[in-house]
Amino acid sequence: MKQKIVAKGLHKIFGRSPDIAMEMLRKGRHKDEIFKETGMVVGVQDANFAVNEGEIFVIMGLSGSGKSTLIRLLNRLIEPTAGQILVDGQDVATMSKAQLVALRRRDMAMVFQSFALLPHLTVLDNAAFGLEVAGVGRKERERRALEVLDEVGLKAFAAKRPAELSGGMQQRVGLARALAVDPSLMLMDEAFSALDPLKRTEMQELLLTLQKEHKRTIIFVSHDLDEAFRIGNRIAIMEGGRVVQIGSPDEILRNPADDYVRAFFKGVDVKRYLTAKDVALPDEVLVMEAPADLNAGFESAIGRLRQMRRNYGFVVDKERRVLGTVSIDSMLRCLAEGRTTLEQALLDDIPAVPGDTRMTELISNIVRNPYPLPIIDGERRYLGAVTQTILLRNMAQETANV
Amino acid sequence: MSEFLPIGEWADQAVNFLLENDSGTFGALGTFVGSLTELVEQALMFIPSWVLAVVLTALAFRRVGWRFALFCAAAVVVIIGTGFWNATMATLALVISATLISLMVGVPLGIWTAKSRLAAYFVRPSLDFMQTMPAFVYLIPAAMLFGLGKVPGVLATVIFAMPPVVRLTSLGIRQVNSEQLEAGVTFGCTPWQLLFKVQIPGALPSIMAGINQTIMMALSMVIIASMVGAGGLGNDVLTSISRLDIGLGFESGLAVVLLAIIVDRMTESFGVARPTKA
C-alpha cells in the first residue's frame, strides 16, 4: 500500500529557544523537567507514523496531549521544531513559502472544530473559498461548490449566510469547503466534537458514505473513543505530546500499550467494539471434516463427543468451510433411521455467524440459541466457536480488566 | 522663574525649519487638501437643498427607521428655516474631506500596527499625543505652514480625528477569530489574500465603529478650526462668542448638534447592518 504522508521524528517546542529544549530531550530529560527549568513546553515529541493512501487515520488523546498541535504541524499552520513531514515523498518541513501555498491549495484541506466559516460570505462562497484563493474563475468555482454542497445535502442553502444555519449544517459547509478543492489529504481537527451526539453520528455516517464513494486519505483528530472506533482504520493514541500506540481498533483494544491507553476504555462499554472473531475460540468445539463413510464417521464422532462431554460438533468441508452443526442426538437419530445423509443430521436452525458481527448482536443470538455458534470469515471458512460459556467468560474478563 | 528645558522654543524652531526648507511638499499637500475640500463642498452646494433633504430622509427611513426619518426631516426644516443651510453644508464638506483623508492614512496605519510590533511601539504613543494635545494647539503650526483657510483647518482636523480609526482598525484586525485565520492559511491564502479575504472583512464591524468615532471627532474639530478661517458653522459660533450674541450662538450650535446626530446614526447604521455574528 502506498504511503501518503509520513512523519519522522516530528517535534514541536513552544518557547524562546527551542534548540536548548531539543538538546535536553536528546539527553533523555523529561518534558516536565524541561518546563520546570526553562519554561518551554514540549508540544509534540518525536512523533513517527505513516498514513496509507485512502485510509482514515485517527489521532486520539485527551485535551493537552498534543493532538491538535500535531495535526497543525502537518500543513505547517504551526512550524515544526525538528523532523520531517513527507507528503508523497516531499518534505513539507523544508518547503519554501510558495511551495507550501501551492501544496495547501492542491493537496491538503482542513475541517475545524469551530467550523471557522467566514461570516461575511454566503454558504456558496464559503464552499468555493479554497478555489477562489487558488484563482479559479467565478463560474467554474461556483459550479464545483454547488456540486459539493449537493453531496453534503445543502444545495438549497447556498444563498444563506453561515449564521443562519444550525451547527450541524455549518459543519457540512466546512466539509464542503474542504471537499471542493478535491484534496488528496484531508485534515479534520475535532471536526464533529462541537456537535450534539445525534448530529455527530450523522456526520460520521456522511463521512463514511463520502469515503465509500471516493477514497481520500483522512487524518482525523478526536478525543472520542466511540468516534475513533467507528471511523478509524487505524488509530494513534497520544499522551503528553508523544504517540504511545498505533494500531487498528482491534489491536489497541486487545493489546493496550499502557495504563494510559487502558484508561481510555474505562467507563466505556468495550464489548460494543468487540466482534465475534475477537472472542471465538477454535478448539472449544469438535470440528470434523464431512466423512466419506457417514455411518462410521458419525459413530466415531459420537464417541469423541461423549468423551469430551459435549453435545455439538461442526462439520466442515475440505477447505474448512462450515457446512453445519450436528449433535449427538441428530446423529443417533440418523443412524437409528438408517437414512444417513449429512443433510439429515445437520441442525438447520443453527446459523453460522460472520466474524465481524458486533457483540451486542451476538449476545442476542446466543440467548436465542443455547448452542455453540460457528464463526466464519467472508468465505465461510471456520474461525472458531462462541458458546454461552465463552461469552460469559469474556464479559467477566473485561470487567476485571477495567 | 528659570526654565532649563526650552521645549517650546525647540518646537518653534522645528516649525520654522520646516517653513524655510520646504521644497514644495507642503504646497502640494495643501493643493491636494484644498481641492478635495473644494470639490466636496461644490458637490454639496450644487445639489438643491430639498433634493438632499429628500434623499437624506429616504436613506434614514431605509437604514434606521421611520422615527429617525421623521427626525431627519424636522432637522432639515430647522436648519433651512434658521438660514444655516449653506454654513452646514460647508461644515459637512470639511468633515467629509477630513474623514476621507483620515481613513486613507488611518486604516492602513491601523493594519500595519496590528501586524508589526515595531509599528505599534511607535504609533501608539503618537496617537496618545494626537488625541490629548489640546485641539487648538494644532491650529498654530497648521496656519503657519498652510496659511489661513480651509486647508489648515482640514489638516488639524485630520490629526485630531484620526486616532480612533487607527486604534479600532488595529483592534479589529487583531481580534479576528484565530480558526478563521487558520482556515484562510490552510486553504492556501497568501498574506495579501489573508488580509483582504479574511482579516479586513472580519475586522469590518470594528473598523466601522472607528470610522464613526473619527467622523464625530472631525465634526467637533471643524468647529474649532474656524479660528484659522476654515468657515462653515464654526464661523457663526465664533462670531456669536465675540459678540456675546446668545441667539446666533444657540441657532448655530443647534445646527451643529442636529448635523452630528444625523451623521452619527447614519454611519452607525452602516456598521451594524453587516452580519457580524459567526
Grid cell listed for A331: 446423529
Domain limits at A77?
1-107+218-268
Q: How many domains does chain B have?
A: 1
pLDDT digits (tens, 9 = 90+) for A319-363: 888 888 888 888 888 888 776 677 777 887 777 888 888 777 788
pLDDT digits (tens, 9 = 90+) for B133-142: 888 888 888 8
On whether residue B277 sits in a domain, the answer given is: no
Domain boundary among the residues A241, A268, A295 is at A268
On whether residue B168 sits in a domain, the answer given is: yes
Residues A303 and A395 in one domain: yes
Rounded to whole angstroms, the Cα distance separating A108 from A127 reads 15
Share of chain A above pLDDT 90, in %: 43
Q: Return the number of other C-beta atoms located less than 10 Å from residue B27's C-beta.
A: 12
Residues A95 and A226 in one domain: yes
CB contact under 8 A, B197 and A132: yes
The rounded mean pLDDT for chain A is 87
Domain limits at B74?
26-272
Domain CATH code at residue A367? 3.10.580.10
CB contact under 8 A, B183 and A112: yes
Rounded to whole angstroms, the Cα distance separating B80 from B86 reads 9
CB contact under 8 A, B179 and A116: yes
Residue B46 has pLDDT above 60, yes or no: yes
Grid cell listed for A167: 451547527
Domain CATH code at residue B38? 1.10.3720.10
pLDDT of residue B164: 94
Of A280 and A11, more confident: A11
Q: How confident is the model at residue B98 (pLDDT cuts 50, 70, 90)?
A: very high
Domain boundary among the residues A206, A233, A268 is at A268
Residue B23 has pLDDT above 70, yes or no: no
Residue B68's nearest CA partner among B218, B268, B208, B255 is B268
DSSP A233: S
Binding-site residues on chain B for chain A (CB distance < 8 A): 177, 179-180, 182-190, 193, 197-198, 201-202, 204, 274-278
Q: Count of alpha carbons within 13 Å of A20, Cβ hemisphere only?
A: 12
Mean pLDDT across the stretch A97-110? 92
pLDDT of residue B275: 42
Mutate to test the interface with A, among B175, B176, B187, B272 (most CBs of A within 10 A): B187
pLDDT of residue A399: 54
Rounded to whole angstroms, the Cα distance separating A215 from A51 reads 13
Complex ipTM value: 0.76
pLDDT of residue A390: 81
Domain CATH code at residue A262? 3.40.50.300
pLDDT of residue B154: 92
pLDDT of residue A333: 83
